[in-house]
Structure 1
């Protein structure tokens, strides 16, 4: 059985008031749900502004992940002046790579990749000479 509409109202992007399964077809198209944009600031001063369906204030999240640095962002700009919180496990891709490989391993991988490029003729030796 294929359903044409979501069983949960307002969970789809672009959902409108009155959408969802109906027994009879109406010509009335639902009005857009009211939306609000909430500002969050991280400790580094980055602002993130996600859009939410208009909800009571206590149902809107108090913290949000910063889109630029991944840190915790809060709704009050005064809170953004607080020092960085204790590391909560967020790591960049580079940090994970550095955990698995030493700097010598990285040099070996780079040297091997450069040799393969030179062997294929894609990298000229003159470009890599030390000056």
Structure 2
């Protein structure tokens, strides 16, 4: 899993304060405080990205392993072991199922079929339900 902000949180070697738009108020040539964070994937690979000095709650819990591409965590446990309140990607059908019950779906389908039959688009014999 590629972390959505992975390209924006890391720093490159030689970054100094005052060279970026967010660090305009610093002394030119002064080094930006940095920290190295260690992540371990399920295969045991270590990944150590460098971040600007960040509060603990802003450091990502997961990072993409540079060797195998798997999810790496700070404590070495698989991502499934962590309780997350974050919901993953949902399909359109999953959102619809949250809003409608099975009975609602049957009613909507019956109404749509009736409208199609009334317009002559869908013959009654096609589905064999008459």
Using structure 2 for the length normalisation, give the TM-score.
0.43
Structure holding more helix per residue: 2
If asked which structure has higher relative contact order (CA below 8 Å, sep 6+), I would say 2
